[in-house]
Amino acid sequence: MTDAASPVTTPVIDVRNIAKHYGSVIALSGISLTLNRGEVHCLLGDNGAGKSTLIKLLSGVVRPTTGDFLVDGEPKSFSSPRDALDAGIATVYQDLAMIPLMSVTRNFFMGREPLKGFPPFRYIDLEHCNAVTREEMAKIGIDVRDPNQAVGTLSGGERQCVAIARAVYFGAKVLILDEPTSALGVHQTSMVLKYVHQVRQKGLGVIFITHNVRHAYAVGDRFTVLNRGKTLGTQTKAGIAMDELQNLMAGGKELQQLADELGGTV
C-alpha cells in the first residue's frame, strides 16, 4: 500500500493560495496549482493575466506576499534565482540569456565550466565541454558539427533546445518555459514541442507558459488559465476540448459580444 505522502505521489511543485501585492496593486490573488513529475502543466493567459509574476515567484526573483510554496512536499522560500536552481527549478526565458557571438559550447556551460590543471594555472576543459555539447544536442536530433560556432548562427528553435538541454544536463527536475514558441516558425515550433515531450518522458516536470492554446494542447497534460491575477480553473486534456480551452482563456462572452458587433463569428 502506497503512503499518500510518499515521494511517488507528492507533487514536485505545490503552490497554495499564493498572492503577490505591489503596494495597492494586486498582481496575483490566491493562485493554487500543482506539478507532478513527468507532466507538462500549461499556464495560459492573455497579457496582464499574471503569468510573468508567477514565473518570478517560482524562480526566486520575487517573494510572495502570502501563501505557501512547496517543493517535493517541503516548504520553500527562495531569496534569489540561485536558491531556485539549487532546488532543481530552472527557468528558460524568452530571451534565453545567451550571448549570440559566443560559441554554442560556451553558452551551454556558461558559469559552470569544468576546469583542469592545478592552481593557479587552471583553465577551461574545452575538449570535454565540446564533446558534451555535441553529445547532448545529438540526443535531441540537432547535429552541431562545430560546437565552437557562434550560437547566434543557430535557428530560433535550435537555440531554444540548447537552453532547455543546458537546464536538463545540469540537473533540473522542474523546467519553467516562458513562451518558448512565441517567435518561432512552424518547423522550429515543432522541434521545440517534440523536445518538451522528450523531457517529460525523462520524468521532469514542465510548466509551459504560453498564450497559444494550440501549442499548449499539443504537449500539455493539464491546463491552468489565469485572468487578472486569478485562476479560472485547472483542466486535464481529457476534460476539455481545445476550442473550450480557447474560449476559457480568451473569454467566451467577450468573443461572442465581439462577433455580434461585427455581425459574424470570431
The pLDDT of 104-112, averaged and rounded, is: 91
User: What is the pTM for the complete model shown?
Assistant: 0.85
Distance, in Å, from the CA atom of 103 to the CA atom of 89, rounded to the nearest integer, reads 25
Name the grid cell of 111: 558559469
The pLDDT of 83-102, averaged and rounded, is: 87
Is residue 204 scored above 90 in pLDDT? yes
Distance, in Å, from the CA atom of 207 to the CA atom of 34, rounded to the nearest integer, reads 10
Distance, in Å, from the CA atom of 139 to the CA atom of 194, rounded to the nearest integer, reads 12
Name the grid cell of 12: 514536485
26 membership: H or E segment, kind and range: strand 25-35
Strand pairing category for 89-92 and 40-44 = unpaired
The pLDDT of 204-233, averaged and rounded, is: 92
Residue 231 forms beta bridges with which residues?
226
- Name the residue among 125, 130, 121 with its Cα closest to residue 103: 130
Q: CA dist 133 to 45, 142, 150, Å?
A: 35, 11, 13
Superfamily of domain 13-93+155-262: P-loop containing nucleotide triphosphate hydrolases (3.40.50.300)
Helix (H, G, I), strand (E, B) or coil at 247: helix
**Domain spans, the chain:** 13-93+155-262, 102-149
The pLDDT of 223-252, averaged and rounded, is: 86
Say if CB 44 and CB 212 are below 8 A apart: no
Helix (H, G, I), strand (E, B) or coil at 222: strand
